[in-house]
Chains A and B, each alone.
Chain A
């Protein structure tokens, strides 16, 4: 990313750190100690790095769910729903194909999860194109519906009778659980996330598809005049984003929880929105930003134990970063008028 896009983001992060520091100071906690502990909890040791990367894996994928459609000018916030459906589809596939060789089942689980997530967000894209339904509201409503469907299934048709306290599906058979990357205690989702992000970057910046998609994002009418298949581009890009989040769900089920239940609704989809915005919707930049937020999430436990800060401290920090970033983006528009002479009789608001 060019420097003039990185600097404002870093500035927003710095301002957020000051604001969050003042906030913890107000509740009687030393900000410097807080940040030192956050660093320790996120990147201080190999152990915390692994924790951070495990949390970064789904964040990369859910961030792509927002970042890919953003190239066409859409604001999609349905990553959480796509993740949940992806996880459900993975469990259903693994249970249905029990007995087949693991490579076949891995492939089927991945495809089923990506298809489920892709269908959800692709549907939001299709509604946008076909009916003019706002994709932000639609994807959010679809998320709540997907979560309800998941709860209904794990309480009903897919419930494992052995799961009493926390209704869950039957566990994924051991043979089909996804292991860790060689040499570290981080599951394969991280590698898949990085690969997906790289592929998304290549697709969006190095292919005619990506060029066409960015053209739609820049000026939909011009794109239509030029004869581009706007509808197809819209639906396919949304479906790709949904597939990424669906894959996150597959990995959460197959590598972390081992079964589908309400634990899948852990907020990765919503944090992914913030990751995408902070990465300025660039699929490559999503990777480091996801690692940063994986780290913030990973340090939550340490803050709770050592400083007695509620676990919501992480949410507060995320909220402050998001608000500061957006406010900073708006203020940036005013900077040129500081440098140059203000244009005469400019309207107050665009």
Chain B
């Protein structure tokens, strides 16, 4: 197939472009989930939050004509889901994983239900920066058309590393995640800290969802998310609860996701779906390789139920 004379060189370029374009939702969801998990809880419901964010962001951008209003509302919708998760989990004897599954179901259902009228109309899209102006190859230009949200994520990752490591606020989150008992003994409100961490995580996941509907693929429909929310939760484990590693892992997963379509465009159609599943296989492999039945995963917050 002719793709502008680039031939096989189009593959690495498309993977690079995909890594930047496809990784943004992974990046936002995983940074949010990283923060939530640092406080000692896992929110599996981010898949539902992501879809809800995609729908509400699209609906508001369509209604107001301003895509950034959509991003904000998507984040707020995500916050509501985060608060709901944290509120139910703060009750006794409730399993945070089960609540996550329930919210995944509820979020997806609500988004499909309320999003029905928005499948057809076209909402305004988020702007992007054309960093490929120096090249006259259209593929290079489109690969380097970088969305503002990606840049925001790029800044957010080191910011989160710094906040967790160097601020008092980050220290409290880590204490709560390592030992709720110790945090209580020191007088920190465990549930309130986890509520804040989960709500912030939900906000970021909602923003990640708005990227799906407002930039790439850039419209709202029910097949928009193919499990990116779940992948991002797994990605945090893959990245060992380090926001910077989350950033690199998101790029890796984005690139892996783009490899299938890229190879397809040069005529290699074998293994398309398996390549799409590469992030899941990678995550499972890394979990198998690094887990042990005798000690917990390195870097895992001690309060986290999934690593026990």
Contact = CB atoms under 8 A, between A and B. Distances in A.
From B92, B233, B270, B283, residue with most partner A Cβ within 10 Å: B92
Given A137-B306, A330-B94, A350-B92, A322 B116 contact: no
Interface residues on A, range: 35 or more
A77 interface: yes
A350 B190 CA distance: 11
Contact of B277 (A130, A144, A273, A309): A144
B113 A134 contact: no
Contacts of A334: 91-92
Nearest to B294: A132
Interface stretch (A171-179, A242-250, A313-321): A313-321
Interface string A315-346: 11111101101110111111000000000000
Contact of B293 (A131, A277, A330): A131
Contacts of A22: none
A348 B94 CA distance: 14
A188 interface: no
Given A144-B277, A148-B276, A322 B102 contact: yes
A310 B280 contact: no
A132 B93 CA distance: 23
A130 B287 CA distance: 12
Contacts of A152: 271-274
A316 B109 contact: yes
Contact of B291 (A131, A140, A330, A332): A131
B103 interface: yes
Nearest to A350: B92
B274 to A, nearest CB: 5
B293 A156 contact: no
Given A137-B287, A350-B92, A326 B276 contact: no
B293 A132 contact: yes
A150 to B, nearest CB: 8
A141 B284 contact: yes
Given A274-B105, A317-B109, 17 more contacts: A144-B227, A144-B277, A145-B280, A152-B272, A309-B113, A310-B116, A312-B108, A312-B109, A313-B109, A315-B105, A319-B108, A323-B99, A326-B98, A326-B99, A334-B92, A348-B191, A349-B90
19 contacts: A127-B291, A129-B293, A131-B287, A131-B291, A131-B292, A133-B291, A136-B97, A136-B306, A141-B283, A148-B276, A152-B274, A312-B113, A313-B113, A315-B108, A316-B110, A327-B94, A329-B93, A349-B184, A350-B92
